[in-house]
Each structure stands twice: as C-alpha cells, then as structure tokens.
Amino acid sequence: MKIASIVFASLLVSPALFAAEKQSMEGMPMDHKGMDMPMDQKATTKTGKATGVVKKVDAEKGSVTITHGPIEALGWPSMTMGFKAEATQLQGLKQGDKVKFEFASTEMDSTITRIEKQ
C-alpha cells in the first residue's frame, strides 16, 4: 500500500514539475548575446628584437627557423624557433646566414616584421 501511494503521488507531481521547468525558460534569450569578449590584441602581442643564425628557410610555407640569443625584453632564453615571414623577406636568406631581426609574437606564433643579414 505504501509503494502504491508513493507511485501515485509521483504521478500527480510529475506534470507540475515539467510545466514549471518549461515555464522557467520562457522569455530567457539563449543566444549568448554579449558573451563574446574579444581579446585585446595589443595585450596579447609582444614584440622583440634579436640576432641569430638562420637554420632553415622555407619560402613556400613562409617560414624561417632561427637560432637566437636571449631576448631579455620578453624573458626568453636562447633557443631555436620557427617564425612566419613573407616570401619577400626571405629572398636571399640561406642556412648559416647571421641575421638581425624584429618580430611580433602571440601565444600562437611569431612573425618576422623586419630581417636583415649582418
């Protein structure tokens, strides 16, 4: 008898719960309008200057790999890393060239803004 009473009470309350849930969502926009928060590009882009030695040039992919010394302004140690670059910036560069360069760096990649042989 007790189980039958619980089942009966549950059946009586269930429609009211579904109606309350549906009603509570009406009139509430779900488009997340105003939730897009663009990142401040200036805050996430860092610039640096360095000297280094070209390890690899790939004009087709628009990249150059350079071994550079420490970049104190960014707190970077000496390392070898790849940079994006325009094909025109890479003209005449080859493995072993000593270069002086400037770049812009984000969390995703670093791009040469100026490069010249030393």
Q: How far, in Å, are 23, 52, 80, 84 from residue 65 at the CA level? A: 60, 10, 7, 9
On the question of pLDDT at 77 being above 60, the answer is yes
pLDDT tens digit string along 14-69? 666 666 555 556 666 666 666 665 555 555 889 999 999 999 999 999 999 999 99
Give the residues across from 101 on adjacent strands. Answer: 50, 115
DSSP, collapsed to helix, strand or coil, labels residue 69 as coil
Radius of gyration of the chain (CA): 30
pLDDT tens digit string along 95-114? 999 999 999 999 889 999 99
| Per-domain residue ranges of the chain | 44-117
Superfamily name with CATH number, domain 44-117: Copper binding periplasmic protein CusF (2.40.50.320)
